[in-house]
Amino acid sequence: MAVDGSGLQTVARALAVLRCFQGDSELGVTDIARMQDLPMSTTHRLLRALLDSQFVEQDTGTGRYRLGVALAEYGHLAYRRHRIYLAEPHLEQLGIETGTAVSIAVRHGSDAINLAFTRWREAHGHNLSEVRFPLHASALGKALLAWSPTTREDLAQLSYDRGTERTPQNPDELAAELELARRTGYAINDEQTEWGFRIIAVPVLGPDGHARFALALRGTTELMIPERIPFLADLARVTASAIGDAILREGGAPADHPAITY
């Protein structure tokens, strides 16, 4: 079936509406129309289509919208397809051994997306702000960049407007951090996305030697003191190797595993 330009525009607008819910909030029609700079009538039509397909749900009491069950279904399918469930026992064990929050992430465009967490997420309630991180500021993102075929031109295309005062502000500063990561064997986020927290990350390498995932340990600056970081990084590398064996090599994903988008 052919899709004309107007049909493609409608699809793009519907996907943009879904992205409005990345903060896991409930939104009204007016909120979404303002966020996407759309007419109210267009926003109503898009929400109705998303509602019919169960990509969004509507609270019958307030009339506000939230993400729907269809996305949970597709999320589980992707979770199984990328074999992330095989990493969970390793994440939990590393979290117990280190007392840190452990997660595994994949690259999506200019961000790193957390795919699985240790049970620390229960203490964070329903806040989903811990899911998506900018590549240039996060330890996960830096690990994905440092162990991939990334060029200086690739770094120049990233946006550097997110983070704290400690975050790399340009491609040169980021390139220096990536080189340091390759020398030490781990990437670090030293209060670059959130004050009071330090995160280190190591790559989960595929058969081609490139990072297919990144594994991170997150803790307070009091817990993750500089003297302890090399020890934590060593433990993380052992776990990353075990996860790589489980997900990527033991009868698993081929060399062109689709989880990473360069």
Neighbours of 173 (CB within 10 A): 14
State yes or no: pLDDT of 155 exceeds 50: yes
Which tokens in the block code for residue 92?
């939990």
Residue 130: per-residue pLDDT = 65
Mean pLDDT of 106-133: 72
Q: Is the pTM of this model over 0.85?
A: no
Is residue 93 classed exposed, middle or buried when 0-12, 13-18 and 19+ CB atoms within 10 A define those classes? middle
Compute the distance between CA of residue 35 and CA of residue 113 in angstroms, rounded to an integer: 22
State what percent of residues in the chain have pLDDT above 90: 65
Q: pLDDT at position 260, please? A: 35
* Per-residue confidence band for 234, with pLDDT thresholds at 50, 70 and 90: very high
The dihedral sign for the CA sequence 111, 27, 18, 40: negative
Tens of pLDDT, residue by residue over 64-88, are 999 888 888 887 787 787 788 899 9
